[in-house]
């Protein structure tokens, strides 16, 4: 045992793919780049690679920090590093920014070679399956035939699940956290509110706002605010903010009265300051479309019959965005196919966001699971 | 027993109040009008009056229809009428549009006598307590010293509860349906998203959009969309819409893919076409501010000690906006004070909206409760 450490300074890398990528939407990306980071060393057998898939607003920056930004730690820095649950002394861990993203991989802010202008709203729709196909090409490039594990939370968990179906022979373990086999009507409804907020912002300009030198910040802020409500449990919001009044009493104003208002506005403003609206739209659509059982008439066990990986499925008790019941659907469908599947429902009051947090039982579980993986 | 009937053609009435109304916010309304409807006849003892309080987007139009709009039935027409649970052969039922409303009572679209222009954003903040005070003056005008019952759902239930505290001697029965003794942080958060959608709409013009000949329809639409999600249960949305695709398959577009998107857009557009944005802002703030226990250090039993009415408290099993647990808080606080309180948690899959619907057990309960009231 060592004290858990940071992976330290990391440097993003880029890979260019000249071969067109056929997308599920029918469109094609003529060429593309993926930006990625790696932590740890690929072993001689090339058997210790772990792919970490990011969620709606994540990126390839999973762990460590950049030399010029020591406080900008990766989004799963608490999980990935020497002595951490996903131990980089044992594993070679990869984070990739997905296609359509806004953190360096080809996306709406990239130049469309056909026009010489940013893709904007013309960037093709990308699905979870497309992301996985692009990640598989990166794996080829890195000489990784088979992953020790593919891991993700939320939309990232959908990618891990999809990997096990698209490339079953390339996934030894799939770790699917706080996720679901498809969105419910309510999930789609929240995404739709977020999209309408962006699409109806006069500064969206049909998705070609770059050319106007503006950003649909109002829409993006609203989208993030509504998202944030669904990331936290009712109880967590109650414990953290309750009805705390900024001024100790009502001031009868549309300025901040309750601390929860301040929190949401802050989160919305922060997000609108760095995230691309077109990417947000694409990512919510990727969430909506994900439904591996669709082609099997809604039969999830039939859809998951292709999977051969061992599975760890994790849910959180107060997650109402992707409730434990949604994880259990995955578990039952895998058990129906007699797959090896471990399932844990972690008691946590933090709602969907729990998958990003330091909950001790959750981290102990991941430590034990990754420990068990032979590389 | 008769077959339940409509109250038929109704005609709204107006009452002007020249005496200023002191508001909790510290402001004053110099004068105001209330628009209201009545159904049934006030008996000789003036002992059979029932006040129905409306929720966020309701109005005084509780039952019946107007001569020139036979299909525009009142919002609780299924509940109020001859042979209906709130039987107008027995009771004299009153519906009032609240101050700050947009259906005829003095509100932001009314002329501010000080400027000769619409009040707009200068209309003072109004609280549940202010509404109740204004309703009490209307009762005085109508010669009603004491109500047989005061009834309301959601924000209307808060008014019924507040009546029992502000004018305990004037309320024989308080019927509080699908309500709560105060909002949670999550409730406030949803309201705040709705408000920011309106406030940030460029056509809001600081709340003085009337002068610009525009309406902040985009913001109001988003506000209603997010509201609607909270009115329905996850299950009800799933049963009604699920993942039904408009075109049978994904079309990869921001046009309607899933039927739930169409429903939300339709509800949003419809609402934005007739409801006033300033009224919506005021009503969400009235919701946020309501907290009778605040002045008692958060002690709800202490706050409710003033109430002398008999209570019926009703909640719905799948209501996650004001869950049954919130109703139980009211019940426990009343029992602590040894009040007469009946409580029913109705099994319904329709979420918060259940209070407006025809659920048989719910209507049977109300029938029985109103039957029992001596007038």
Q: Please provide the DSSP assignment of A45-70 as one string.
A: TS--EEEEE--TT--S--SSBBTTBT
pLDDT of A349 > 80? The answer is yes
Catalytic residue among B6, B57, B154, B233: B154
Chain B residue closest in CA terms to A293: B243
Give the alpha-carbon dihedral of B76, B78, B79, B83, to 10 degrees. Answer: 140
pLDDT of B125 > 70? The answer is yes
Contact: B200, A192; criterion CB under 8 Å: no
| Contact status, residue B100 vs residue B123, Cβ threshold 8 Å | yes
A193 touches chain B (CB under 8 A): yes
**Window B:204-223, CB contacts with A under 8 Å:** 218, 221-222
| Contact status, residue B160 vs residue B176, Cβ threshold 8 Å | yes
Q: How many residues does chain A have?
A: 375
* pLDDT at residue A2, rounded to an integer: 83
Chain A residue closest in CA terms to B223: A193
* Min Cα separation B337/chain A (Å): 25
The structure tokens 């309406």 sit at B215
**Window B:236-295, CB contacts with A under 8 Å:** 237-238, 240-243, 250, 252, 254, 257-258, 260-261, 264-265, 268, 281, 285, 288-289, 291
| Contact status, residue A199 vs residue A228, Cβ threshold 8 Å | no
How many degrees, rounded to 5, is the angle at CA A10 between CA A9 and CA A15? 165
Mean pLDDT score of chain A: 97
- Which chain A residues are within 8 Å of B281, Cβ to Cβ? 254
* Burial of B296 from C-beta contacts in 10 A (0-12 / 13-18 / 19+): middle
* pLDDT bracket for residue A188 (50, 70, 90): very high
* pLDDT at residue A43, rounded to an integer: 98
Q: Which helix (H) or strand (E) holds B364?
A: helix B360-372
Q: Which helix (H) or strand (E) holds A345?
A: strand A341-346
Catalytic residue among B201, B310, B319, B348: B319
The tokens for B205 are 């013009």
pLDDT, tens only, A97-112: 999 999 999 999 999 9
Q: Is B291 a catalytic residue?
A: no
Write the CB contacts of A177 (distance below 8 Å, at least 6 apart in sequence).
Answer: A151, A152, A153, A154, A156, A157, A313, A314, A315, A355
- Which chain B residues are within 8 Å of A25, Cβ to Cβ? 250, 252
Q: b/e for B336-355, b at 16 or more Cβ within 10 A?
A: ebebebbbbbbebbbbbbbb
Contact: A222, B200; criterion CB under 8 Å: yes
Chain A residue closest in CA terms to B242: A185
ipTM of this model? 0.96
pLDDT of A187 > 80? The answer is yes
Q: Fill in the DSSP letter of residue A216.
A: -
B324 touches chain A (CB under 8 A): no
Mean pLDDT score of chain B: 97
* pLDDT bracket for residue B2 (50, 70, 90): confident
* pLDDT at residue B91, rounded to an integer: 98
Contact: B288, A258; criterion CB under 8 Å: yes
The phi and psi torsions of A234 (rounded to 5 degrees) equal: -55, -45
Distance (Å, rounded) from C-alpha A50 to C-alpha A371?
A: 13
* Min Cα separation B133/chain A (Å): 18
pLDDT, tens only, B219-229: 999 999 999 99
* Min Cα separation A238/chain B (Å): 5
Catalytic residue among A110, A154, A162, A164: A154
* Min Cα separation B73/chain A (Å): 28
Concatenating the DSSP letter of every residue in A171-189 gives BSEEEEES--SS--HHHHH
| Contact status, residue B81 vs residue B50, Cβ threshold 8 Å | no
Task: Say how many CB pairs under 8 Å bridge A and B.
Answer: 142
| Contact status, residue A110 vs residue A104, Cβ threshold 8 Å | no
Which of these ranges, A1-10, A180-189, A344-353, B97-106, has the smallest mean pLDDT? A1-10
Please check if B224 is assigned to a binding site. yes
- Which chain B residues are within 8 Å of A202, Cβ to Cβ? 202
Please check if B353 is assigned to a binding site. yes
- Which chain B residues are within 8 Å of A250, Cβ to Cβ? 25, 289
Contact: B291, A243; criterion CB under 8 Å: yes
A225 touches chain B (CB under 8 A): yes
* pLDDT at residue A178, rounded to an integer: 98
* Min Cα separation A77/chain B (Å): 29
State the fold for domain B187-284: Rna Polymerase Sigma Factor; Chain: A (1.10.1740)
Q: Which helix (H) or strand (E) holds A18?
A: none
**Window B:170-189, CB contacts with A under 8 Å:** 182-186, 188-189
| Contact status, residue A319 vs residue A232, Cβ threshold 8 Å | no
Q: Is A269 a catalytic residue?
A: no
User: Can you tell me the mean pLDDT for B40-46?
Assistant: 98
Nearest to A264 among B189, B221, B285 (CB): B189
Residue from A64, A62, A56, A75 nearest A159 by CA? A56
Q: Give SS3 for B50.
A: strand
Roughly how many angstroms between the first and final C-alpha of chain A, as a whole number?
19
Nearest to A196 among B185, B201, B222 (CB): B222
pLDDT of A1 > 80? The answer is no
Contact: A200, B218; criterion CB under 8 Å: yes
The tokens for B297 are 């250090």
Q: Is the dihedral of CA A58, A62, A64, A66 positive or negative?
A: negative
Concatenating the DSSP letter of every residue in B211-257 gives GGT---HHHHHHHHHHHHHHHS-HHHHHHHTTT-BTTSS---SSS--
pLDDT of B73 > 80? The answer is yes
A329 touches chain B (CB under 8 A): no
* pLDDT at residue B1, rounded to an integer: 66
Integer angstrom CA distances of residue A140 from A30, A133, A136, A145, B89: 19, 11, 6, 7, 80
Specify the CATH architecture of the domain B13-182+292-372: 3-Layer(aba) Sandwich (3.40)
Q: Is A45 a catalytic residue?
A: no
Q: Is the dihedral of CA B276, B282, B285, B291 positive or negative?
A: negative
| Contact status, residue A164 vs residue A311, Cβ threshold 8 Å | yes
pLDDT, tens only, A243-274: 999 999 999 999 999 999 999 999 999 999 99
Residue from B309, B369, B320, B318 nearest B343 by CA? B369
Concatenating the DSSP letter of every residue in B262-313 gives HHHHHHHHHHHTTS-HHHHHHHHHHHHH--TTGGGTT-HHHHHTT--SEEEE
Strand partners of residue A345: A315
B129 touches chain A (CB under 8 A): no
Contact: B264, A195; criterion CB under 8 Å: no
User: Can you tell me the mean pLDDT for B138-150?
Assistant: 98
Q: Which helix (H) or strand (E) holds B341?
A: strand B341-346
User: Can you tell me the mean pLDDT for B292-301?
Assistant: 97
Contact: B237, A195; criterion CB under 8 Å: no
Domain boundaries, chain A: 13-182+292-372, 187-284
Distance (Å, rounded) from C-alpha B301 to C-alpha B199?
A: 37
Q: Which helix (H) or strand (E) holds B164?
A: helix B155-166
Q: At what angle do helices A128-142 and A155-166 cross, to 10 degrees?
A: 70
Q: At what angle do helices B217-231 and A185-199 cross, to 10 degrees?
A: 170
Distance (Å, rounded) from C-alpha A348 to C-alpha B312?
A: 35
* Min Cα separation B117/chain A (Å): 21
Contact: B243, A185; criterion CB under 8 Å: yes
* pLDDT bracket for residue B293 (50, 70, 90): very high
- Which chain A residues are within 8 Å of B285, Cβ to Cβ? 252, 254
User: Can you tell me the mean pLDDT for B146-169?
Assistant: 98
% of chain B beyond a pLDDT of 70: 100
Same fold, A13-182+292-372 and A187-284: no
Q: Give SS3 for A301.
A: helix
B52 touches chain A (CB under 8 A): no
Strand partners of residue B316: B346
> pTM here?
0.97
pLDDT, tens only, A322-346: 999 999 999 999 999 999 999 999 9
% of chain A beyond a pLDDT of 70: 100
Distance (Å, rounded) from C-alpha B308 to C-alpha A108?
A: 63
Residue from B374, B341, B363, B369 nearest B164 by CA? B341
* pLDDT at residue B50, rounded to an integer: 99
- Which chain B residues are within 8 Å of A218, Cβ to Cβ? 200-201
Distance (Å, rounded) from C-alpha B84 to C-alpha B1?
A: 10
Contact: A258, B226; criterion CB under 8 Å: no
Strand partners of residue A96: A36
Write the CB contacts of A76 (distance below 8 Å, at least 6 apart in sequence).
Answer: A52, A62, A63, A86, A356
Of A26, A193, A263, A319, which to mutate for an interface test with B (greatest number of B Cβ within 10 Å)? A193
């Amino acid at each position: 045992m060592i004290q858990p450490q940071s992976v330290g300074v990391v440097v993003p890398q880029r890979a260019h793919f000249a071969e067109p990528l056929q997308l599920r939407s029918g469109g094609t990306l003529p060429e593309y780049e993926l930006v990625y980071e790696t932590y740890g060393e690929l072993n001689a057998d090339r058997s210790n690679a772990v792919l970490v898939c990011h969620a709606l607003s994540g990126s390839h920056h999973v762990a460590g920090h950049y030399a010029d930004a020591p406080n900008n730690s990766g989004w799963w820095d608490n999980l990935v590093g020497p002595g951490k649950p996903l131990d980089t002394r044992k594993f070679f861990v990869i984070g990739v920014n997905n296609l359509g993203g806004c953190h360096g991989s080809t996306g709406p802010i990239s130049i469309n070679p056909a026009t010489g202008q940013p893709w904007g709203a013309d960037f093709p729709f990308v699905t979870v399956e497309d992301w996985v196909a692009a990640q598989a090409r990166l794996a080829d490039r890195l000489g990784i035939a088979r992953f020790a594990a593919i891991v993700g939370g939320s939309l990232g968990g959908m990618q891990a699940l999809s990997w096990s179906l698209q490339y079953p022979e390339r996934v030894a373990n799939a770790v699917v956290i706080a996720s679901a086999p498809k969105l419910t009507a309510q999930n789609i409804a929240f995404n739709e509110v977020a999209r309408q907020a962006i699409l109806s912002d006069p500064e969206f300009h049909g998705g070609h706002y770059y050319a106007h030198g503006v950003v649909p910040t109002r829409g993006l802020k609203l989208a993030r605010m509504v998202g944030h409500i669904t990331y936290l449990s009712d109880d967590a919001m109650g414990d953290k903010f309750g009805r705390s009044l900024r001024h100790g009493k009502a001031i009868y104003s549309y300025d901040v009265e309750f601390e929860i208002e301040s929190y949401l506005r802050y989160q919305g403003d922060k997000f609108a300051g760095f995230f691309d609206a077109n990417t947000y739209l694409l990512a919510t659509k990727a969430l909506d479309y994900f439904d591996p059982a669709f082609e099997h008439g809604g039969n999830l066990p039939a859809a998951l019959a292709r999977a051969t990986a061992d599975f760890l499925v994790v849910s959180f008790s107060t997650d109402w965005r992707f409730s434990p019941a949604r994880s259990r659907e995955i578990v039952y469908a895998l058990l129906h196919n007699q797959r090896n599947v471990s399932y844990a429902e972690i008691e946590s009051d933090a709602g969907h966001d729990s998958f990003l947090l330091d909950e001790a039982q959750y981290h102990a579980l991941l430590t034990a699971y990754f420990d068990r993986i032979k590389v």
